[in-house]
Chains A and B, each alone.
Chain A
Amino acid sequence: MRNVERLCLAHFWVAFGAFLAAAVLGTWQMWVRSPLGADVGTPGQYFMSVTAHGVAMGYVLTTFFIMGFGYFVAVTALARPLPGKAWAWFAFWMSIVGVIMTTVPIATGNASVLFTFYPPLTGSPWFYIGLVLVVVGSWIWCVLMIVAMAAWKRENAGRPVPLAMFATVANAIMWLWTTVGVAAELLFQVIPAALGLTQTIDVGLARTLFSWTLHAIVYFWLLPAYIAFYTMAPRAAGGRLYSDTMGRLTFILFLIYSLPVGMHHLLMDPEHGNGTKFIQVLLTAFVSAPTLLTIFTITASLEIAGRLRGGRGLFGWIAALPWDRPMVLAVGLSFVMLGFGGFGGLINMGYGMNAMIHNTSWVTAHFHLIFGGSVVIMYFAIAYEIWPRLTGRGYTSLAPLRAQLWLWFIGMMVMTLPWHWLGLQGQWRRVANFNYADPIIAGWGPWVIVSFVAGLVLLASALLFVRNLLVLHLSPQAAIARPLYALAVHPPQRVPAALNGFALWNVLVLIVMLLAYGYPIAQFAIAPSPSAIVHRIE
């Protein structure tokens, strides 16, 4: 096996190993919360599990998957060797060390602060330092992606960067901007407190810095799915990408709008005024633009494929699509979940309306649908699509792959729809148990059980996913039938510099971030909030 393939597979297996462990924990948590689990587990174990679930899904699965996928794209889309492969391995091992440093305190109950930290609660310093190492590892990946694209551009002056790589670099640059907030929070506030160097924390500032990261990080997780939508799905369906330009514009819009919107996570917070909140709500409304553009462009691309396959009439092309191919099926299921999740997100960003659902199961449902549903199902599809190319082996049957995708879709929908309903009734988040004797809560019980059963379905799907990949490793060698990346209906010959690089957009991000976050952060220097004493969970 050659080096880059080993590099990609190493990243993917770490990601999916963490995913499987987190899936088990998530299912267990739903059991504990349900009326069936009244005597299962202690709150200490529950919050330990929630911390591990969040860290594994949000930091390990995503970061490792995205790094591995980025290396794959850099080599395949640019058709040139990866620059700095030794650095890539260094970043991998550094991130592995970070994961271990983070996992140990979680497992011993010394870091039950959830993956979103909540200072002035603090856990073991190793927990945070480990996470910093993972982030620094991902920074190396970002630099490698930028270097790879720059090298390609030098060698191919004037030609448009392949969309897959353009999007990957957009994600890398976005991630560099994104991590500034959490890095500042950890390095200047939380880690000194966890080490005992400081005894107090300015909590308002910590929350504001984390909000800087909190929304854009989700787009960092999301972009691989969009890369698959634009560059893989049209070809898998047998068609072409409707518009390459819109693809570029979409990823640029994500870079600009995913960052200055994090304060919509703080709409219910007391440390900011209405006006600064409103500015970011307005910007949040515009972050729906790249997604809505994508929905249209990709649906049009699929329509091309369906009509080429003989579909007629207004909607006849839908039935004509090759739904037996995992990538096409995943895109379809992903879009359905994106629709429901997007609806939940619209409500979340509703300024005052956020009060109706803030920190209820509605929010949990929203991000499980968007990330756990529409994004992770695309991680599956990407894995299924490129695993044969990494191993040189072929699937003997696609049926278990389809079954796994359907199970994931059904499980996610059945789990999250009751959560939306319960959230609307005020079921709150992050609790180890509910008092089902209370008349208000009693009625929630059956729905909590339904979502627990759906959690079992999700667990079955997660196991089947790993099984499908393991089976492939044992399958016979096979030639790969089909190229991966889609052509556009009009493959771009020349594109404006603005759509072929990020200089302009970085300047715009800087300006917008100064406008959106400048005063909200500066206010803590102008009039610091009275600090809170650190509470150590160790």
Chain B
Amino acid sequence: MTELHPEMHERRILGTELLWAFGVGVLVAATLSMIVFTALTMNINPPSNVERIDPKALHLSGEFAEHNLGTTVAADGSVTTRVVATQFMFVPRCIAVPQGRRVTLRFSTPDVIHGLLITGTNVNTMVVPGYVAQVHTEFTRSGDLLMPCHEYCGIGHSEMWATVQVLPEGEFKPDSEGKVSCAQR
């Protein structure tokens, strides 16, 4: 070793490591820049909504009282769906949403931690007692989708899911109060 200029040797090793580290840095930057780029141009964020609500009195609150749940079209045309996740069901159990329109989904729970996703879409959020979870999205394809609870909420957790009907524009018809319910099939 000594006859081969160990200092040079060691420096070369560190040089290759630095070169590699530089490459790693470039790749890390590439993954991050994808995130930043889509956040800036397409407004992509993880669902975040630090909006507090008392889980103990959720059923007394106006917004998440039983008959306000489901999908509503407001006067300005905005679509909001309100769902309660409770042990061990979603209320309502079937949700109608329009295809290709911006939808705001709002969830809360009166009891324990739940979570949900809608299969084949990017709708995914935790439902934490004390907060209103909110997802803004657009459903790109019509059809019936599954909305299961994906966080352990007790022994009955496995049977907790709802159906999401993504309705084409023509079939998505609000009633006189602006509410839209699932089509009976």
Contacts and interface: CB of A to CB of B under 8 A. Distances in A.
Interface string B57-84: 0000000000000000000000000000
B29 to A, nearest CB: 8
Nearest to B20: A296
Contact of B154 (A271, A297, A440, A535): A535
Given A527-B52, A531-B130, A430 B17 contact: no
Interface stretch (B94-102, B145-153, B173-181): B145-153
Given A245-B14, A274-B48, A527-B52, A429 B125 contact: no
Nearest to A290: B24
A118 B154 CA distance: 10
A267 B135 CA distance: 12
Nearest to A113: B152
A43 B156 contact: yes
Given A270-B133, A270-B134, A428-B150, A530 B52 contact: yes
A360 B119 CA distance: 10
Interface string B1-24: 100001001100110110011001
Contact of B46 (A267, A292, A438, A490): A267
A243 B124 contact: no
Interface in A107-154: 112-114, 118-121
Contact of A121 (B27, B117, B145, B154): B154
A243 B6 CA distance: 13
Interface residues of A, number: 75
Interface string A235-253: 0000000110110000000
Q: How large is the interface on B (under 10, 10 to 19, 20 to 34, 35 or more residues)?
A: 35 or more
Contacts of B92: none
B35 A533 contact: no
Interface stretch (A63-71, A349-357, A385-393, A469-477): A349-357
Given A269-B126, A293-B24, A350-B35, A246 B113 contact: no
A352 B120 contact: no
B123 interface: yes
B120 A203 contact: no
Contact of B115 (A202, A359, A490): A359
Given A289-B24, A532-B56, A118 B10 contact: no
B111 A537 contact: no
Contacts of A440: 119, 145-146
A202 B130 contact: yes
Contact of A270 (B17, B48, B146, B152): B48
Given A114-B152, A286-B28, A428-B150, A270 B49 contact: yes
B171 interface: no
A297 B130 contact: no
Contacts of B117: 355, 358-360, 426, 428
Interface in B101-117: 111-113, 115, 117
A352 B146 contact: no
Interface stretch (A94-102, A216-224, A277-285, A315-323): A277-285
Nearest to B25: A289
Nearest to B163: A438
Contact of A274 (B31, B45, B113, B124): B45
Contacts of A292: 20, 24, 27
Interface of A: 43-44, 46-47, 112-114, 118-121, 202-204, 207, 242-243, 245-246, 266-274, 277-278, 281-282, 285-286, 288-289, 292-293, 296-297, 300, 346, 350-356, 358-360, 425-426, 428-434, 438, 440-441, 489-490, 523, 527, 529-533, 535, 537
Given A243-B13, A490-B1, A535-B154, 4 more contacts: A121-B112, A267-B46, A281-B35, A430-B157
What are the 4 tightest A-B residue pairs by CB atom distance, in nearest-first order? A426-B119, A532-B129, A529-B130, A428-B150
